[in-house]
């Protein structure tokens, strides 16, 4: 039976089932499970297919209308009492090679928990509710990251995304067909209107835990610049070739690793720089490398500082390449400007968290999220819960059950407010 919030204090006192949420997180974690408690569920692998099958099965069990689009995004929708664009919850279920149980998965499964909680209470929102998981958010197998939400929103052409070749040589389109998730639903903001988007996520950093704060109201997401460099030098004998006569691809790569750290420290503030991938060839103990391929990940909340970091990195690489007598090629893997979330969404999360009795603070996100892409088509916001030790992208990733429950309850009441109840407008 539908309830009006002004006549139904049960809606105000409504809470999710934390044990049920945790059970689903652990069950999903068995797909692609690693020894030690982690998960390897790279996008569009067999493990990802198993995770997708599990989550779409739960969506159907909850009575959601499931749509799979041409890039493999999955959206489950619960009808409202009125037609129109839905209030969407979601995130992703693909992981990095050494992922944990919560990154991305929490936002999707907490969305399902919100739907189940409302169904059990007999509450039907005025606007439809949707729960989504987007393809290849991590970018660990296919670049760029946030691929599915970029195509869903319309900023990345579907054909280009499908043709993308991964680190193992497979293409996105081929793998979608292989695992059975090349859907028929169209992509693009014009055919996928969203009233508002809310994403619950683990912080993936240390701030909330260090300050003893339960909920983060996320103000925005750092800008991200991923660049791949390929260096061609000359192989030669490691013992007989004088240092002054070398054309050492490995020397350039190693120098960039040090430069990236020094650059981040010099620029200070929110600037970070990481060389996360490195390969050398011929990769022999007594041969000077004639090949190096590596990536540099630059991030900053300030757009101008991020551009400065990129310019200084590129200048350093070009000058060192000329001095060492090696050739360098580079290509952009991903590039996103910093994103500020709608002020009213940030304030709403902050207010609801406080009303539920939780400590709360505003903070930026250092990681990229689908929410920053959805923010281009609708008001978007994020809710953070603490990460134990600030650890993520690691099999030891952990968030306390009480924190998971607190975040899901903030999500519940945020979407209730956004979606409205019959005869009440928010």
348, 213, 324, 228: which is closest to 278 by C-alpha? Answer: 228
- Burial label for 9, CB within 10 Å (0-12, 13-18, 19+), is exposed
Q: What is the DSSP string of 115-145?
A: HHHHHHTT---SS-EEEEE-TTSS-SSSSST
Are 111 and 411 in contact, with CB atoms under 8 Å apart? yes
Are 75 and 59 in contact, with CB atoms under 8 Å apart? no
195 is known to lie in a ligand binding site: no
Q: Integer distance in angstroms from the first to the last C-alpha of the chain?
A: 20
Which single residue is written with the structure tokens 């569009």? 44
159 is known to lie in a ligand binding site: no
46 is known to lie in a ligand binding site: no
The torsion angles phi and psi of 90, rounded to 5 degrees, stand at: 160, -170
358 is known to lie in a ligand binding site: no
C-alpha dihedral, 140 to 144 to 150 to 156, nearest 10° = -150
103 is known to lie in a ligand binding site: yes
**Residues in binding site for Zn(2+):** 92, 103, 138, 201, 393
**Residues in binding site:** 92, 103, 138, 201, 393
């Amino acid at each position: 039976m539908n309830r009006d919030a002004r006549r139904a204090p049960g809606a105000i006192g409504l809470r999710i089932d934390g044990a049920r949420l945790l059970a689903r997180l652990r069950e999903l974690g068995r797909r692609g499970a690693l020894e030690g408690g982690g998960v390897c569920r790279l996008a569009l692998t067999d493990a990802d297919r198993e995770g997708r099958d599990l989550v779409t099965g739960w969506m159907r069990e909850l009575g959601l209308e499931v749509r799979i689009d041409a890039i493999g995004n999955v959206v489950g929708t619960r009808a409202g009492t009125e037609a129109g664009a839905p209030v969407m919850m979601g995130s992703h279920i693909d992981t990095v090679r050494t992922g944990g149980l919560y990154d991305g998965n929490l936002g999707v499964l907490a969305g399902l928990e919100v739907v189940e909680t409302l169904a059990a209470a007999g509450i039907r929102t005025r606007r439809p509710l949707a729960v989504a998981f987007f393809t290849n958010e991590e970018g660990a197998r296919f670049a760029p990251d946030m691929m599915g939400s970029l195509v869903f929103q319309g900023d990345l052409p579907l054909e280009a995304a499908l043709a993308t070749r991964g680190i193992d040589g497979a293409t996105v389109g081929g793998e979608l067909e292989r695992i059975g998730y090349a859907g028929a639903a169209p992509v693009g903001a014009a055919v996928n209107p969203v009233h508002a988007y809310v994403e619950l996520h683990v912080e993936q950093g240390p701030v909330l835990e260090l300050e003893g704060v339960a909920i983060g109201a996320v103000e925005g997401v750092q800008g991200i610049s991923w660049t791949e460099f390929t260096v061609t030098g000359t192989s030669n004998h490691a013992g007989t070739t004088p240092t002054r006569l070398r054309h050492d691809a490995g020397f350039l790569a190693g120098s960039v690793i040090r430069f990236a750290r020094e650059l981040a420290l010099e620029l200070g503030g929110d600037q970070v720089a990481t060389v996360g991938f490195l390969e050398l060839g011929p990769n022999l103990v007594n041969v000077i490398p004639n090949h190096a391929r590596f990536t540099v990940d630059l991030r900053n909340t300030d757009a101008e500082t991020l551009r400065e970091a990129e310019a200084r990195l590129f200048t350093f690489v070009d000058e060192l390449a000329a001095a060492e007598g090696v050739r360098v090629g580079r290509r952009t893997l991903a590039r996103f400007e910093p994103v500020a979330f709608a002020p009213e969404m940030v304030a709403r999360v902050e207010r609801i968290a406080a009303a539920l009795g939780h400590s709360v603070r505003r903070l930026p996100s250092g990681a990229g999220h689908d929410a920053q892409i959805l923010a281009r088509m609708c008001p978007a916001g994020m809710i953070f819960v603490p990460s134990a030790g600030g650890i993520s992208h690691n099999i030891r990733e952990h968030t306390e059950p009480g924190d998971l429950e607190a975040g899901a309850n903030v999500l519940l009441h945020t979407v209730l407010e956004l979606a409205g109840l019959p005869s009440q407008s928010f």
